[in-house]
Structure 1
């Protein structure tokens, strides 16, 4: 097999701790399969901005164009102007046309003890995928400020942009044998959401086997708490998806459980995978951050870049088996369980790889 080139962007804070665990996961897979990887380390984020005035240099950005895919940690350090470190992520998403942001939300059975909801609200479990439009909307950074007295952010949707994310979401639901798809908007107030809902309803006619439903964003946030078990595929715009996926991650443990893929569905495109958590400077360097979101981001890489659901399933099962006995502090229950061991970042990654090796040896 031709070696696959992967850019590794550790970034700032805990990114420097979790990306190495993702790399070790890839190396374990290479050891037991035909996959071979070449890794390219790329610097980006707050520390880079302090040195160069750019969160990612032009030379580094050009190198990203040469790889097959990207694994990112987290960007941002205290004391910088708002948004300058994170600009690198936005640029990568825009220039590589990564218009799909995929965020699976799954509560492992052994982690029901960490879910803040009562059993009546968990019921059959939480297993949904939030699909977020990643290139338009209010995060497009169209706007500015006038003499520090007035600031404007423009929310712009195009028919083409909305259609393509909805097509992806509908096809994703069908491919994953789901029965329902939920759209989230604010069509009672926003023109952009009215267009979104209209296109959702029109495109939905092509998928007769799927149940379609639309929620206003405020109502959805309520039902996400009351009956998260009722959602399968959820599709929404950029800002709404950012907010509700963070809310949903808290239901399955913490942001440290949240993986994401910034996907360009074109087979020749370059996609980027990252945990949804930030750089967490308050715990950086303590070896207590949760690497699971990064490991699960590698899972998404195999499913959506390498089209290998077998390896994806093996990673998911390895994580599920590892958390039965081992947890980082963010997902350790308040009521101490004698069956559980609180572990470091590196040990958590190691336990996952041990479980993964068992599966890959079969």
Structure 2
């Protein structure tokens, strides 16, 4: 039997609820499949942990993560901790420390889910976000604090190596899609150094992929295109900040942030990759059992695919789509279902797909 060590980091807010639901579904999928299993270790790194200890990740924590096959991450963010402290204290040290430079965010309108767009059938995209440098490189500082002439600098960093590898990743992924089309998102009209390098390297790499069609769009213009001509887009590659913003728009156009998944990949597999739903910690509904677990389930699908468990991934995705098509939806999608009810519905579809019953599953798990 194939065994996978999984680091579960629920984090803050609804992260604790949706990761618990995700682990429940993953345990069921592995039990029903019978060919693999997960050994999950819960790591209590959260804002509560930070407030108690003064840090999110203990000394050696990122190195400790290298011993896992994958990381299942919930959310980070607390009303008691400034956002820059929580982000730079937990998520970014993991993504950068494990060189998870390819952030992959698919966006699609699931069956039974409404979109604000009239022509929502065109929403079927994958946004590739450079995840290690660019605007989130951490270069900058503040001087003369407290004085009228105080200065804050934030320097975007683009390296040829970093730019080339994300473009190659995007081309390789575009090659696997039916349309084989890749859109370069840029802002090189205004950002004339780093973003011009971004464009030039894209053009160089494109020469190695004659089977992939390409086009180029300024980041501000691509937002209009996503709304007015969604069918004109397929795979998009963008910088750290630009893709961060565009993927939230893509999620909203798909129906809700509550259904949007993410994979933070180290494509060379030198280090474990991290899988997280987009939605954040959602203070307003935390602890109420109302969080939408679909984003976490779809994220689990991406994790299964990354681990090579394609058959299980396909069945889980089919179960998710069956549940949304049946109208079992949480409040963010206009429904009334709770986190537990959506989770139970997905589990029921999985058992049906594998021809199992709840009693047989319980016996299998016990054995």
Shorter-chain TM-score: which interval?
over 0.9
The equivalent position to 2:338 in structure 1, one of 330, 344, 348, is: 344
Secondary structure of the structure 2 residue equivalent to 1:109: coil
| Superimposed CA distance per residue, residues 69-91 of structure 1 (whole angstroms, 9 cap, x where no aligned partner) | 10000111102133212221100
1:223-242 aligned at under 5 Å gives the runs: 223-242=225-244
1:182-197 aligned at under 5 Å gives the runs: 182-190=183-191, 191-197=193-199
RMSD (Å) for aligned C-alpha atoms: 1.4
| Corresponding residue of 2:137 | 140
Taking the aligned partners of 1:110 and 1:117, their CA distance within structure 2 comes to: 14
| Corresponding residue of 1:168 | 169
| Corresponding residue of 2:56 | 55
Taking the aligned partners of 1:184 and 1:310, their CA distance within structure 2 comes to: 33
Taking the aligned partners of 2:324 and 2:259, their CA distance within structure 1 comes to: 11
Cα drift, residue 207 of structure 1: 1.2
Cα drift, residue 177 of structure 1: 3.5
Deviates more, 1:95-104 or 1:191-200: 191-200
Cα drift, residue 65 of structure 1: 2.2
| Superimposed CA distance per residue, residues 93-144 of structure 1 (whole angstroms, 9 cap, x where no aligned partner) | 0110100000000102322xx21112xx32x431110000000101111111
User: Is the 8 Å Cα contact of residues 291 and 339 (structure 2) preserved in structure 1?
Assistant: yes
Cα drift, residue 18 of structure 1: 0.2
| Corresponding residue of 1:249 | 251
| Corresponding residue of 2:210 | 208
1:230-309 aligned at under 5 Å gives the runs: 230-304=232-306, 306-309=307-310
Count how many residue pairs are aligned between Structure 1 and Structure 2. 348
Q: Does 1:100 align with 2:141?
A: no
Cα drift, residue 176 of structure 1: 3.0
Q: TM-score, normalised by structure 2?
A: 0.91
Cα drift, residue 62 of structure 1: 4.0
Q: TM-score, normalised by structure 1?
A: 0.93
| Corresponding residue of 2:24 | 24
Secondary structure of the structure 1 residue equivalent to 2:85: coil
Secondary structure of the structure 2 residue equivalent to 1:144: strand
Taking the aligned partners of 1:138 and 1:359, their CA distance within structure 2 comes to: 44
Secondary structure of the structure 2 residue equivalent to 1:21: helix
Taking the aligned partners of 2:233 and 2:317, their CA distance within structure 1 comes to: 20
Cα drift, residue 308 of structure 1: 3.0
Secondary structure of the structure 1 residue equivalent to 2:31: helix
Cα drift, residue 173 of structure 1: 1.1
Taking the aligned partners of 1:308 and 1:37, their CA distance within structure 2 comes to: 12
Any gaps of 5 or more consecutive residues in structure 1?
Answer: 333-340
Any gaps of 5 or more consecutive residues in structure 2?
Answer: 357-367
Deviates more, 1:31-40 or 1:98-107: 31-40
The equivalent position to 1:127 in structure 2, one of 124, 128, 132, is: 124
Cα drift, residue 344 of structure 1: 0.4
Cα drift, residue 179 of structure 1: 2.2
Taking the aligned partners of 2:311 and 2:263, their CA distance within structure 1 comes to: 18
Taking the aligned partners of 1:3 and 1:308, their CA distance within structure 2 comes to: 11
| Corresponding residue of 2:359 | none
